[in-house]
Amino acid sequence: QKSRKPTSLFSTNYLQLLRSVSVPKSLICDSMGFSKDQLLGRLQELEIDYSKYEHPPVLTVEAQAKYVSSNEGALSKNLFLKDKKNRYYIISAMVDTKVDMKVLSQRLGLGKGGIRMAPEEALGELLQVSLGCVTPFAVVNESARDVCLLLDKNFENQSRCIFHPLSNDVSISLNTSGLDKFLKSIGRDPVYVDLEATPTVGKDQPPDLAAYVPSGSYTVPELPNKTPSEQAPAPKNKAAETKPVASEKPSKPADNVKSVAVNPQVSLVYKNPEKFVEEIFDKTSALLLSEANGESVEALTETLRKRLASEFTFLATMYKNTAYAEGFHAGKQSLILKLQQE
């Protein structure tokens, strides 16, 4: 048999059919991090059963309990922590679970005082959420790829558990199998631990949670503030004001701040998930059609629609989030360097 010509694979009607594949709005990210609607859309794509409860914004579990009954599931408290080496952790526990920070620090191999509450700035930088919105679902954001997530083992004994879906004006309840399915879909293995355990840590008994300490660290940038000692003293008289002063050389950047090269010409494909999906469809379809023997174009297209659309769009959105996050951090580092040189 003669091989088909590549040009015959891309008729106008066929390309229009490919590009008519609808992209779920819930997966199109217009900001750096996922929104609650995008997250809930992802749960629907994964066919995860959940119940949704809308309420006024709440900052504490006690306030949340006024609007969401414990009959709907087990309420959770979520701690965002950091260690001395700027590694971050989300500890998600049931309300009644007692989390001893000193014991937890020892179990992680960080010593008694090696862990504390993370600064509020890190909520936006890493988790892409605001105060009162810490949740296991925050690890969906690419910026939180190095954040450790530890879940209370007691969740596994509950029929349903309640969390915020990245926003504290909504609560959702779902079972742990649904939460596990979501975490695995983004490449995370769920880790359930007994947060109330107090195992002995010593020479012959290594820390039982040390394996979960993140390998990556992140320092939240802080804008330098001028101290009084850095400000020039007031001139004593007019002569001092008019006296020529030798120009100072610009100060060098601090050694601990690395310059970041920014490429302003990021490919449009990676900025627009729909265009990225179209490109994948074009290439994948060409390969499938070139190998197809006797199968109709309609059958192959239907396969693409059902099996690949949501996964490719989700992947493209993750690439987009990565590009935004890297550009944001690079811009902030450039600003710090500029301020230090002034």
**pLDDT > 90 fraction of the chain, expressed in percent and rounded:** 48
Please state the rounded mean pLDDT for residues 217-232. Answer: 52
Same domain, 159 and 283: no
Indicate whether 29 belongs to any domain.
Answer: no
Q: What is the pLDDT of residue 285?
A: 64
Q: What is the pLDDT of residue 71?
A: 86
User: How far, in Å, CA of 210 to CA of 207, rounded?
Assistant: 5
Same domain, 60 and 17: no
**Contact in structure between 56 and 67 (CB atoms under 8 Å):** yes
How far from chain centre, in Å, is Cα 319?
12
What count of residues does the chain have?
A: 342
pLDDT above 60 for 330: yes
Indicate whether 239 belongs to any domain.
Answer: no
* Per-position DSSP letters for 278-325, written without gaps between them: HHHHHHHHHHHHHH-SS--HHHHHHHHHHHTHHHHHHHHHHHHHHHHH
Average pLDDT over the chain reads: 75
CB neighbour class for 90 (10 Å; exposed up to 12, middle 13-18, buried from 19): buried
Same domain, 75 and 198: yes
Q: What is the pLDDT of residue 30?
A: 34
Please state the rounded mean pLDDT for residues 72-81. Answer: 95
Please state the rounded mean pLDDT for residues 147-168. Answer: 96
pLDDT above 70 for 5: no
Same domain, 308 and 189: no
Indicate whether 244 belongs to any domain.
Answer: no
- N-term to C-term CA, the chain: 72
Confidence band of 112 (pLDDT split at 50, 70, 90): confident
- The residue among 176, 179, 161, 171 whose CA lies nearest residue 66 is 171
User: How far, in Å, CA of 304 to CA of 308, rounded?
Assistant: 5
User: Looking at the chain, which runs of residues are DSSP E strands?
Assistant: 51-54, 76-83, 88-94, 115-117, 148-152, 161-163, 170-174, 192-193
DSSP conformational letter for 126: I
Question: Which of 1-10, 46-55, 153-162, 205-214 is the least confident region?
Answer: 1-10
**Contact in structure between 32 and 321 (CB atoms under 8 Å):** yes
Same domain, 75 and 20: no
One-letter amino acid of 165: P
Three-class DSSP category at 180: helix
Question: Which of 30-44, 96-110, 171-185, 260-274 is the least confident region?
Answer: 260-274
Indicate whether 253 belongs to any domain.
Answer: no
Same domain, 133 and 202: yes
pLDDT, tens digit (0-9, with 9 covering 90-100), for 294-326 = 556 666 666 666 566 656 666 666 666 666 566
Indicate which CATH number applies to the domain containing 50. Answer: 3.90.960.10
Indicate whether 167 belongs to any domain.
Answer: yes
- The residue among 154, 161, 162, 166 whose CA lies nearest residue 33 is 166
State which of 212, 244, 278 marks the end of a domain. Answer: 212
Q: What is the pLDDT of residue 7?
A: 37
Same domain, 52 and 184: yes
Domain total for the chain? 2
Q: What is the pLDDT of residue 223?
A: 41
Cβ count within 10 A of residue 322: 16
pLDDT above 50 for 116: yes
pLDDT, tens digit (0-9, with 9 covering 90-100), for 244-269 = 444 444 444 444 433 333 333 334 44
Same domain, 50 and 19: no
Same domain, 196 and 276: no
Q: Which residue has the higher pLDDT, 66 or 228?
A: 66
Same domain, 67 and 112: yes
**Contact in structure between 199 and 193 (CB atoms under 8 Å):** no
One-letter amino acid of 102: K
Indicate whether 139 belongs to any domain.
Answer: yes
Same domain, 135 and 198: yes
pLDDT above 60 for 53: yes
Same domain, 63 and 205: yes
Domain containing 187 equals 46-212
Q: What is the pLDDT of residue 18?
A: 38
User: How far, in Å, CA of 78 to CA of 131, rounded?
Assistant: 11
Q: What is the pLDDT of residue 218?
A: 79
Question: Which residues fall within 8 angstroms of residue 86, CB to CB, at 6 or more apart?
Answer: 217, 218, 219, 220
Indicate whether 227 belongs to any domain.
Answer: no
Indicate whether 106 belongs to any domain.
Answer: yes
Q: What is the pLDDT of residue 69?
A: 86
Q: What is the pLDDT of residue 229?
A: 36
